Amino acid sequence: MSEKDTTIRFELDPDNLPATDWSQFDALTDEERHESALSDPDAQPATARQLARAKRVPDVRFIRKQLNLTQEQFAETFQLSLGTVRDWEQGRNQPDHAARAFLKVIAYNPAVVQEALAQK
């Protein structure tokens, strides 16, 4: 392992998960839980600067549900692949720059997008 590659990766075995004693956690107040979370040096909250630099990805599931559409209907209505919509919603993939822009327009004015897509 090189100096730069210090990340250790592992996968939990779903059939052999570690035991968790939730009684200790349940006994904490919300304030104690918050303080405990902040005391973990590996899990610090993002700074305002980090949040400002973060990519904003439209919430596809939220947009679709606001339109009262199933995944299939959303994909068909906006000429998207059903698999792509599923992957976006399940976090397997994120929309690229063009898709993010398209999703923002869908969220802003879905009727105009549908009208534009209906043009031959």
pLDDT, mean over the chain: 90
The pLDDT of residue 32 is above 90? yes
pLDDT at 44: 87
Per-domain residue ranges for the chain?
A: 22-53, 60-118
- Separation of alpha carbons 46 and 31, rounded Å: 19
pTM score, whole prediction: 0.59
Tokens of residue 42, six digits = 């590996």
Q: What is the CATH number of domain 60-118?
A: 1.10.260.40
Of 75, 72, 66, residue with least CA distance to 102: 75
pLDDT tens digits, 44-77? 888 899 888 887 889 999 999 999 999 999 999 9
